[in-house]
Amino acid sequence: MKNRVVVTGLGVCAPNGVGISAFAKALEEGKSGIRHFTELEQLNFSCQVAGKPNIKNINLNNYFSNVQLKGLDSSGLIYGVIAGLDAWKDASLEKGNSNDAPDWDSGILFGTGILGVDKFRESIYKVDEGNVRRLGSTSVIQTMASGISAYLGGILGCGNQVTTNSSACTTGTEAILMGFERIKAGKVKRMLVGSCSDSGPYVWGGFDAMRILPRKYNDNPQAASRPMSAAASGFVPGSGAGALVLESLESALERGATIYGEVLGGAVNSGGQRSGGSMTAPNNEAVQRCIREAIINSGISTKDIDAINGHLTATSKDATEIKNWSKALERSGSDFPYINSFKGHFGHCLAAAGSIECVGTLLQLKQQKVFGNLNSEDLHPEINQIIAANKVPQETIPYPLHSIAKASFGFGDVNACVIFGNYIN
């Protein structure tokens, strides 16, 4: 019991749903959160569609004090605090108050890629204009990478490790594994883990300049993100945050917490940007090793994997990823597990992708369903040669799930794979 780690809380701020209920419904029903943005059109972006959480009707006073809201202009930080506090509440944990002692048994590991880009831009202009005194007292905390963990740590009063990781698109999945390892080592009872990503042209512009975003769907945004599709032409940029409360099984049972599933194990590695790996492309051997090691570390076999939630960004690399899964699992055709990608629903949320998608993966496990793919009906011919078409469901299907693999692969040739399983007493 002391060596087992379970998930007792979930929170999400995603382009197709804010809050677990809305997010789960959107995934199950195949609701897209990808929209056209006039701002991107006016800035002459080739790709003018993106996924951005709709928080217009969210009362931010439920998450921030009036003092904290003053001058708050960091979208990723806002998304992260919403997801993080919702996960904490979902786990039936209390925030406490400022007069309480720190909660020495709880920590935070919340990752990000770039934080507070809009605030940073605003600060640069004020400095260049000689208005340094008008920057405001929160410009530093809104733009430092660990600002998200600092905000959450202060609100919740966590007294164990409070830190931030950053590994490009692997960030969220890596954060989960880092928190898992800390609990497993007996250094903490529970960890709030997750990741967030800013939205807007100053985050997405570089990708548009790289010509790796789809350009032909500005008039049809919901068809733009096409994981595993023959018509895939690039990933749709997204943003948001996902959060999970990880807890030792002993602690969870002691307080009667709801358990979504168990973190069986995982692995992280890098391809060293060698043997075909580069800053932007993964080393295939490293990907396969990461998957295999995650399964070994979880104490299960490749045959035990019932479903996969892939990285699958809707680029030409999707077929290569399927090949890597097939080789790592030594499974193909109708023997291949069910596989899906949520990027058809909300695009590629960059540093937030892994955590948001892990939340969706756990919802599948809890509901015993495999959510359908969006825009994947015309499978890439290379994928068709590896796996049976029905293993890429287009609609949500009920299925007895015991273990699910979730992987993320990021710029810098970095990889992470986590295995979630049903909690069995």
Could you tell me if 88 and 148 lie in one domain? yes
Q: What is the pLDDT of residue 2?
A: 65
Could you tell me if 210 and 149 lie in one domain? yes
Q: What is the pLDDT of residue 292?
A: 98
Averaged pLDDT, 163-180:
98
Could you tell me if 200 and 114 lie in one domain? yes
Domain with residue 225: its CATH number is 3.40.47.10
Confidence of residue 143 (pLDDT cuts 50, 70, 90): confident
pLDDT score of 120 more than 70: no
CB atoms within 10 A of CB 33: 25
Q: What is the pLDDT of residue 425?
A: 84
- ∠ CA 38-42-45 to the nearest 5 degrees? 90
In which domain, by residue range, is 119 found?
A: 7-254
Out of 110-119, 206-215, 249-258, least confident range: 110-119
Q: Indicate whether 260 belongs to any domain.
A: no
Quote the DSSP letter at residue 150: H
Q: Indicate whether 295 belongs to any domain.
A: yes
Q: Indicate whether 74 belongs to any domain.
A: yes
Could you tell me if 289 and 193 lie in one domain? no
Confidence of residue 40 (pLDDT cuts 50, 70, 90): very high
Could you tell me if 407 and 283 lie in one domain? yes
pLDDT score of 44 more than 70: yes
Do the beta carbons of residue 275 and residue 37 sit within 8 Å?
A: no
Q: Is 383 helix (H, G, I), strand (E, B) or coil?
A: helix
Q: Indicate whether 2 belongs to any domain.
A: no
Q: What is the pLDDT of residue 47?
A: 98
Could you tell me if 289 and 369 lie in one domain? yes
What is the CA 281 to chain-centroid distance, rounded? 19
Domain termination residue (choose one: 254, 283, 307) = 254
Could you tell me if 29 and 154 lie in one domain? yes
Q: How many domains does the chain have?
A: 2
Residues 381-395 have pLDDT tens digits of 999 999 999 999 999
- What tokens appear for 23 in the block? 């997010």
pTM recorded for the entire structure? 0.96
Q: What is the pLDDT of residue 20?
A: 98
Q: Indicate whether 259 belongs to any domain.
A: no
Could you tell me if 232 and 109 lie in one domain? yes
Could you tell me if 287 and 170 lie in one domain? no
pLDDT score of 126 more than 70: no
CA-atom Rg of the chain in angstroms: 20
pLDDT score of 141 more than 90: no
Alpha carbon distance 154, 279 (integer Å) = 35
Could you tell me if 249 and 275 lie in one domain? no
Residue 362 phi, psi dihedral angles, 5° rounding: -70, -30
Q: What is the pLDDT of residue 125?
A: 52
Confidence of residue 41 (pLDDT cuts 50, 70, 90): very high
Considering the chain, what is the average pLDDT of its residues?
95
Could you tell me if 351 and 407 lie in one domain? yes
Could you tell me if 335 and 416 lie in one domain? yes
